[in-house]
Structure 1
Amino acid sequence: MTNSISDLLESAVERAVPVVRGIADDRLADPTPCTEYDVRDLIDHLLQVVINFQALAARKDADFASARHYTHGDWRGRFADEAAALVAAWAVPGAEEGTTGTMGLPARTVGQMVLGDLTVHAWDLARATGQEFTPDPVVVGELGPSLAEMAPMARKGGVFGEPFPLAEGERASEFDRVLALTGRDPHWQP
């Protein structure tokens, strides 16, 4: 049985929200595994993704071109609220059907994209700020094949880096392989 995107997102949100809530203001300038983002920039990016993918679920236009700054006021609460709205948007009947977005991708693929962003960036933020993060194994099971399928397009668009080489014989977890696929060192430390 295929898990719905909204159920997968709900599980991912349950793990991401505590990470975001656990980020102290004095950590916002810290580096992350995403070399182009510090913690503040990555939070801004992730919130923009969460908001835009709500629109995509509803077959509305999304604006990824404009830089947005969300890390002011109660940004932790806003993240939790917007993440809950993301789950609700993908739970609407028909959200996973047809195509969505300007690229005309299948809606389920678009849902898998935000699931990947939410899960991988929660790991990025946890790792950058010294927190623990363990994704739901069911989410990881969905991400492995879906991100592998998206990887060539994601690399071409500069969304993924080149695959990170895992040491031969290394006992890598399924999530370590997902991280490596996106160009991340699963053992990255600040």
Structure 2
Amino acid sequence: MTDHSALLRPAAAEFLRVAAAAQPLTAPTPCTGYDVRGLLNHLLYWGPWLAAAGRRETYTATGTEADAVLVGEDWLATLEKQTEDLVDAFAPAAAWEGLATLGSATMPAATVGDMVLGEFVIHGWDLARAAGTPLTCSEEATAAAEAVRASAVAMGEQARAMGVYGPEVPVPAGAPALDRALGASGRDPAWTV
């Protein structure tokens, strides 16, 4: 795996732009089982776990994601702060080296970093689709999409077995990197509300 820390900040900025537009909170998303509120709750629940893994710290949540109610009136400010914390946690090259613990699982730290990048890109696309707005693919975002595609392919079987990804959606080899990343993660790039 590779250090993709340089891709995090631009991906995070685009993620926050589309998250702010994702209304109403009851709108469906392409992320199976989640409306906008549920997806934001998912992101707010797992963000501290990911940041702790990047810093090699221990994090324990009270309750499960299903029990958590994290999307209040100030959800956007909370998401902005958490996103900045994730970028900061994975900014140092050392955050991508060696092993990291995420919950009870120990894995390559670069895998956890790529999960963060995937949260920004894939869930950013989910929120953009729910809002009916495009996810802008700058040069950095295209590189991020390619990194996420490679990660989704590498982790695909395990992620599908854990229910994190749906079945792979066939996408033409010449399609944009984002579409190929979406297909590898079990999303249909043509999904609309």
* CA deviation vs aligned residue, 1:30-76 (integer Å, no higher than 9, x gap): 11101210110001111222222111111223457612222112111
Deviation at 1:171, TM superposition (A): 5.3
Q: Counterpart in 2 of 1:71? A: 71
Q: Aligned-pair RMSD on alpha carbons?
A: 2.0
**Number of aligned pairs?**
185
Deviation at 1:94, TM superposition (A): 1.9
Q: Counterpart in 2 of 1:89? A: 89
Q: Counterpart in 2 of 1:28? A: 25
- Secondary structure of the residue that 2:90 maps to in structure 1? helix
Q: Counterpart in 1 of 2:178? A: 175
* CA deviation vs aligned residue, 1:76-100 (integer Å, no higher than 9, x gap): 1111111011111112452111101
* Cα distance in structure 1, aligned partners of 2:185 and 2:13: 22
Residue type of the alignment partner of 2:53: L
Q: Counterpart in 2 of 1:49? A: 46
* Cα distance in structure 2, aligned partners of 1:155 and 1:183: 9
- The alpha-carbon distance between structure 1 residues 185 and 63, as it changes in their structure 2 partners (threshold 3 A), is farther
* Cα distance in structure 2, aligned partners of 1:134 and 1:62: 33
Query: Does the aligned pair in 2 maintain the 1:100–1:110 contact within 8 Å?
Result: yes
Residue type of the alignment partner of 2:52: A
Deviation at 1:10, TM superposition (A): 0.9
Q: Counterpart in 2 of 1:116? A: 118
* Cα distance in structure 1, aligned partners of 2:86 and 2:157: 26
Query: Does the aligned pair in 1 maintain the 2:121–2:148 contact within 8 Å?
Result: no
* Cα distance in structure 1, aligned partners of 2:118 and 2:173: 23
- Secondary structure of the residue that 1:165 maps to in structure 2? coil
Gapped regions of structure 2 (runs ≥ 5): none
* Cα distance in structure 1, aligned partners of 2:144 and 2:191: 21
- Asked if 1:142 is matched to 2:144, the reply is no
- Secondary structure of the residue that 2:175 maps to in structure 1? coil
TM-score (norm 1): 0.89
Q: Counterpart in 2 of 1:5? A: 4
Gapped regions of structure 1 (runs ≥ 5): none
* Cα distance in structure 2, aligned partners of 1:104 and 1:77: 31
TM-score (norm 2): 0.87
- Residue identity over aligned pairs, in percent, reads 35
Residue type of the alignment partner of 1:29: T
* Cα distance in structure 2, aligned partners of 1:176 and 1:115: 16
Q: Counterpart in 2 of 1:156? A: 161
Match of 1:106 among 105, 108, 119: 108
Query: Does the aligned pair in 2 maintain the 1:33–1:128 contact within 8 Å?
Result: yes
- Secondary structure of the residue that 1:186 maps to in structure 2? coil
